[in-house]
Chain A
Amino acid sequence: MSVERTYKDINTRIKAGKAVILTAEEVIERVRKKGVAQTAREVDVVTTGTFGPMCSSGAFLNFGHTRPRMRMSKVWLNNVPAYAGIAAVDAYIGATELTEGDPCNSNYPGEFRYGGGHVIEDLVARRKVHFKAWGYGTDCYPRREIETNITLDDINEAILFNPRNCYQNYNCAVNTSDRTIYTYMGTLKPRLGNANYSTSGQLSPLLKDPYFKTIGIGTRIFLGGGIGYVAWHGTQHFPGILKDAGGKEVCNAGGTLAVIGDLKQMEARWLVGASLRGYGASLTVGIGLPIPVLNEEILACAARTDDELFAPVVDYSEDYPNARPGNLAVVSYAQLKSGKIKVRDREVPTAPVSSYSRAREIACILKEWLQKGEFLLGEPSQLLPGPEAGLSGRQLSAN
């Protein structure tokens, strides 16, 4: 008889301190020794993790009202503009927004030393942030400007809301041209000088539940060192499965998550401002998901290894910028992690852009929270669309 569990069953066991929790790395070992059926009977939850630069991140901030009151039309935090077209004292600081007057790529490749991601890190680290706002003044909101310093504790609310995080799978980026290129996947040396990848492979949350059998709206997660939730599917959530010419499944394309959580309970260790040379600023985000072992099938996916998970190798000098489909190769995460892959019969050294060791740490922290009974599973109100939904990207055309 194969095992069947409900969220309620597992939460009861977590509260009683009896739940068996393994990280995605540990469950692989267990399955190797005992097989899928036995492991599914023994294990309640598998924890996962990922820690890498994730654009499409940001925070809603409510600064509190001034006296006299002010309707803020423009807001700057450490001279980085935040979007204030929301309400009187609400703004959204986006991770990729740059400091006013940043030279960008006019001095190519630009350094992008500071941006919205760094503001979020500074806030979470409880560093003082310079605040400036301007408004046009109304009868009920007469004040027109303010300049002061704030900390995260001084303001009413700070809600991290990242519309697209936690990519299920991602391209391994290479450069076939004759010059060095600077991309969001890092600096790529000419003539296949290096291959950069950015997924934690066998620890990666959405690669461990590729059919979205457990992840949905309301799933409780590790977010930026605190507790967060899956709010929706992320933008550009295209969880299809890439197939080869013979129709054989090769790898997952790219489901994504929109995540939300109270910034005030997060930690700067898990939300780090990033500067990608020649590209821009971003935010490195730590995310971990618990995968409840509701049945054997879910466990079998959660126990997939780096040998069984693949990424497409994409040329970022020509194909990617021109939005040409196709890839130069498909390689396993085991190959990527070994330090070299083969592309066009050439040995190409690899480098990760997301931190595998920190991903492991996240899976371990989440495991600890569950073991202590501090963290219960959030049963999704609705699962996210899976590969069968047939979602795919649209192209924006000029007139």
Chain B
Amino acid sequence: MAPEKIVLRFGAETSDKPIIYRLIKDYDLIVNILKASINPHKEGTMVVELTGDRYREGIEYLKKQGISVHPLAQEVVRNNERCTNCGACTVHCPTKALYLERPSMEVKFNGDECVVCLMCVKVCPVKAMEVRI
């Protein structure tokens, strides 16, 4: 079975639980962590590749833990024409790929740090963040 790349979003209450251990031990999945940004008691995001026969069960387990599971879109890009540099996205970006440069207060986007969690796509008021599949 081909590995599936997915994005996991943890709330503050689940970010300190040994989720990955459970996926391996209880569901016999091969887990390859591609990117992770998790701190205890804070929201976190992880991009993982999962392989194994019990993949569906593993996903069900994750959802039961209150973790949101999304397929990995390929890339998030910024439409620079559309972006107004307001900065509303910066506080929702889990990896600080989007950040305000000071003192210019311009919004910068470092695509290498992006874990494609899509929060910016949702919160951007002018729809300047776009998904490329």
Contacts and interface: CB of A to CB of B under 8 A. Distances in A.
Interface string B1-38: 00000000000100000000000000000000000000
B131 interface: no
A358 interface: yes
A291 interface: no
Given A339-B100, A357-B105, A352 B87 contact: yes
Contacts of B123: 186-187, 277
B91 A357 contact: no
B133 interface: no
Nearest to B100: A339
A349 B125 contact: no
Interface in A185-241: 186-187, 189, 191, 193-194, 196
A355 B91 contact: no
Q: Which of B43, B100, B125, B126 has the most CB of A within 10 A?
A: B125
Contacts, number: 76
A351 B125 contact: no
Contacts of A168: none
A114 to B, nearest CB: 10
Contacts of A275: 125-127
A337 B101 CA distance: 11
B88 A353 contact: yes
A355 B92 contact: no
Nearest to B104: A357
Interface in B70-97: 82, 84-92
A276 B125 CA distance: 5
Contact of B126 (A187, A193, A273, A352): A273
B105 A351 contact: no
B117 to A, nearest CB: 13
A161 interface: no
A46 interface: no
A196 B84 contact: no
A73 interface: no
A186 B89 CA distance: 9
A187 B122 contact: yes
B68 to A, nearest CB: 12
A349 B98 CA distance: 14
Nearest to A203: B105
B127 A358 contact: no
B86 A349 contact: no
A354 B86 contact: yes
Contacts of A187: 92, 122-123
A51 B87 contact: no
B121 to A, nearest CB: 10
A194 B126 CA distance: 20
B114 to A, nearest CB: 18
B113 interface: no
Contacts of B102: 337-339
A177 to B, nearest CB: 13
A253 to B, nearest CB: 23
Q: Which of A274, A282, A339, A355 has the most CB of B within 10 A?
A: A355
A276 B126 CA distance: 9
B106 interface: yes
Interface in A165-192: 186-187, 189, 191
Nearest to A274: B125
Contact of A274 (B43, B90, B91, B126): B126
A317 interface: no
Given A191-B12, A356-B105, A351 B84 contact: no
A130 B64 CA distance: 46
Interface string A270-282: 0011111100001
Contact of A277 (B82, B106, B122): B122
Contacts of B106: 357
Contacts of B127: 113, 275
Contacts of B88: 186, 196, 351-353
Given A193-B43, A351-B87, A352-B105, 9 more contacts: A51-B86, A186-B123, A189-B92, A282-B125, A352-B88, A355-B85, A355-B105, A356-B85, A358-B86
10 contacts: A186-B123, A196-B91, A275-B127, A284-B126, A351-B91, A355-B84, A355-B87, A356-B105, A357-B105, A358-B84
Interface of A: 51-53, 113, 186-187, 189, 191, 193-194, 196, 272-277, 282, 284, 337-339, 349-358, 360
